[in-house]
């Protein structure tokens, strides 16, 4: 595992990769490996019409991942309930997932059947972050959050109560931490060196702890590299590492409790947290803040921004956004555009050249329904199934500069999430994953094997409403119950242990 020191940018050296997930209509992104550190080894998930995001990881010799939440594109909910959601984006996040088939709501969080994730919740016209996913116009952020419980209207945060079966509304995985909206509150677990768990401390926790100071109207959550963001009524709140300005409060001082992001204007619909940057959707427009050394903010600059800035050319028509390790992708009028780091072809424009402004993904000018940005690859849900580009884009130990079709998936995709070097999707209600399985992140019970085609996650053959991938871990929601598998050295599975698991284990909420 790579490590990233708080207060120091992980983008000192190489190029960032990102991994993420996306769901129909949404986007998710995650952060990456080959960067000067980077992440989104995580994922988010989204549900039908929802979006999700995921976490990522980076390293300057070290690595970090992040998670994000998804939103945009509307939250999906089974049972027809809709909720507002937001996605968060960041620079290095991974894994996120999005799902479809649920109802969507503008900026709403996903609910039963809906998912948001690399830590974000899904919602109409939402965004997604690393590894996050976006569904139907939704987007997700690193580590995206997944919503699987039934929620009507906005999901409530602070002051949450004990989690019981069916009470988890959304989940988002970041680099080495994850967060969930539970019974009206937000709870986080895992690594906490920058205060990314939001409980006023910097002590890691192997089980969920309550985030302090959030209002009772949280609509979406997104876990990034070493920070987390939530969409609440009237704005966005973030906490954790802030060396690149990723908290958006015009400062570079870390915060172990939520702080308000500088005003984004009206109509905030989604938020997605990447490794060290964050993005949001407001009235169909994309805005980002935080680290910008590899152009991940999309404002034709390499200067970090401690407050939100406009992504050039994306002032309208954006329905989902997903942040990866050091790149970002958005769903714009049915097409996919990406910007930032491109060391592995993760921008999908048949080039390895970084781009300071959005560029069109080759062959995806229309027909896309969800987007997910991972550590060093990106994926989209289309009418023909799933297409990915960048590192490990086709499940093989190779990379592609343009989208390629994922083998064996032609329909039924309701959510997708991209982690560090693996990808997961909800297909016909079941969870399947492919790629690197060195820490058990594919959940098939057979770790330390690289699998180029989708395999069944043990025990998750039906009822899966959300999935989120981050770094080398993955999480899902099944009828409102959160389960995680894969890497667990810092308690990111939330089961009270630090032992990796190659099969799903239940998160131990208080």
Rounded average pLDDT over 492-510: 97
Start-to-end Cα distance in the chain: 28
**Is the residue at 4 inside a domain?**
no
CA atoms 100, 101, 105, 106: torsion sign: positive
pLDDT digits over 53-83, tens only?
A: 333 333 333 333 333 333 333 333 333 332 2
**Is the residue at 70 inside a domain?**
yes
Tell me phi and psi for residue 428, to 5 degrees. 50, 40
| Structure token pair of residue 350 | 């048949």
**Is the residue at 469 inside a domain?**
yes
pLDDT digits over 17-50, tens only?
A: 333 333 333 333 333 333 333 333 333 333 333 3
Overall number of domains in the chain:
1
Rounded average pLDDT over 307-330: 96
411, 422, 340: which is closest to 173 by C-alpha? 422
pLDDT digits over 243-264, tens only?
A: 999 999 999 999 999 999 998 8
- The CATH number assigned to the domain holding 487 equals 2.130.10.30
Instruction: Look at strands 88-89 and 268-273 and give their pairing.
Output: parallel
pLDDT beyond 70 at 112? no
Q: What is the number of alpha carbons within 13 Å of residue 228 lying toward its C-beta? A: 43
| Structure token pair of residue 228 | 């987390």
Binning pLDDT at 50, 70 and 90, where does residue 204 land?
A: very high
Rounded average pLDDT over 132-152: 35
Rounded average pLDDT over 178-191: 91
**Is the residue at 153 inside a domain?**
yes
Q: What percent of the chain has pLDDT over 70?
A: 66
Average predicted confidence (pLDDT) for the chain: 74
Question: From start to end of 241-334, where are the E strands?
Answer: 255-260, 268-273, 277-282, 285-290, 305-310, 318-323, 327-332
Distance of alpha carbon 225 from its chain centroid, rounded? 10
Q: What is the number of alpha carbons within 13 Å of residue 483 lying toward its C-beta? A: 24
Spell 39-71 as b/e; 16+ CB within 10 A means b: bbbbbbbbbbbbbbbbbbbbbbebbbbbbbbbb
Can you tell me the distance from the alpha carbon of 487 to that of 420, in angstroms, rounded to the nearest whole number?
11
Q: Tell me the sheet residues that pair with 360.
A: 337
pLDDT beyond 50 at 292? yes
**Amino acid 448: pLDDT:** 85
C-beta neighbour count of 317 within 10 angstroms: 15
138, 140, 115, 147: which is closest to 55 by C-alpha? 140
**Amino acid 404: pLDDT:** 95
Q: Whole domain around residue 484: which residue ranges? A: 25-506
348, 328, 341: which is closest to 286 by C-alpha? 328
**Amino acid 194: pLDDT:** 97
**Is the residue at 5 inside a domain?**
no
Rounded average pLDDT over 209-214: 95
CA angle 39-487-229, nearest 5°?
A: 45
**Amino acid 102: pLDDT:** 31
pLDDT digits over 389-405, tens only?
A: 999 766 666 789 999 99
Binning pLDDT at 50, 70 and 90, where does residue 508 land?
A: very high
**Is the residue at 19 inside a domain?**
no
């Amino acid at each position: 595992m790579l490590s990233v020191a708080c207060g120091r940018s992980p983008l000192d050296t190489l190029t960032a990769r990102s991994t993420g997930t996306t769901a129909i209509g949404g986007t998710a992104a995650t952060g990456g490996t080959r960067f000067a550190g980077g992440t989104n080894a995580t994922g988010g998930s989204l549900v039908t019409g929802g979006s999700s995001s995921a976490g990522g990881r980076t390293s300057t010799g070290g690595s970090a991942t992040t998670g994000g939440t998804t939103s945009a594109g509307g939250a999906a909910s089974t049972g027809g309930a809709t909720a507002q959601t937001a996605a968060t984006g960041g620079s290095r996040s991974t894994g996120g997932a999005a799902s479809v088939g649920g109802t969507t709501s503008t900026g709403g969080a996903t609910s039963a059947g809906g998912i948001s994730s690399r830590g974000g919740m899904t919602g109409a016209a939402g965004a997604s972050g690393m590894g996050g996913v976006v569904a139907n116009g939704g987007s997700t952020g690193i580590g995206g959050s997944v919503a699987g419980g039934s929620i009507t209207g906005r999901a409530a945060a602070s002051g949450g109560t004990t989690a019981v079966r069916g009470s988890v509304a959304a989940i988002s995985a970041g680099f080495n931490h994850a967060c969930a909206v539970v019974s009206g509150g937000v709870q986080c677990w895992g690594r906490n060196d920058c205060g990314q768990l939001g409980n006023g401390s910097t002590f890691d926790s192997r089980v969920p702890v309550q985030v302090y100071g959030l209002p009772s109207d949280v609509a979406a959550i997104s876990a990034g590299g070493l920070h987390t963001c939530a969409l609440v009524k009237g704005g966005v709140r973030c906490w954790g590492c802030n060396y690149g300005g990723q908290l958006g409060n015009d400062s570079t001082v870390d915060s172990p409790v939520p702080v308000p992001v500088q005003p984004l204007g009206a109509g905030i619909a989604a938020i997605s947290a990447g490794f060290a940057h964050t993005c949001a959707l407001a009235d169909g427009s994309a805005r980002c803040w935080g680290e910008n050394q590899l152009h991940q903010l999309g404002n034709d600059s390499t200067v970090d921004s401690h407050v939100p800035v406009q992504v050039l050319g994306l002032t309208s028509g954006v329905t989902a956004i997903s942040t990866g390790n050091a790149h970002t992708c958005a769903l714009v009028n049915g097409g996919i555009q990406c910007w930032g780091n491109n060391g592995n072809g993760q921008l999908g424009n048949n080039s390895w050249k970084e781009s300071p402004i959005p560029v069109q993904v080759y062959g995806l000018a229309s027909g896309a329904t969800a987007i997910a940005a991972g550590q060093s690859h990106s994926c989209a849900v289309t009418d023909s199934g799933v297409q990915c580009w960048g590192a490990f884009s086709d499940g093989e130990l190779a990379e592609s500069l343009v989208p390629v079709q994922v083998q064996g998936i032609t329909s039924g995709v309701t959510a997708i999430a991209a982690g560090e070097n693996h990808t997961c999707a909800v297909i016909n209600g079941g969870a399947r994953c492919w790629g690197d399985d060195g820490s058990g992140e594919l959940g098939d019970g057979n770790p330390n094997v690289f699998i180029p085609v989708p395999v069944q996650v043990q025990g998750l053959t039906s009822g899966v409403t959300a999935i989120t991938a981050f770094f080398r871990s993955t999480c899902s929601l099944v009828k409102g119950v959160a389960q995680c598998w894969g890497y667990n050295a810092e308690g990111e599975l939330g089961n009270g242990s630090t032992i990796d698991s190659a099969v799903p284990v239940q998160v131990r909420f208080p």
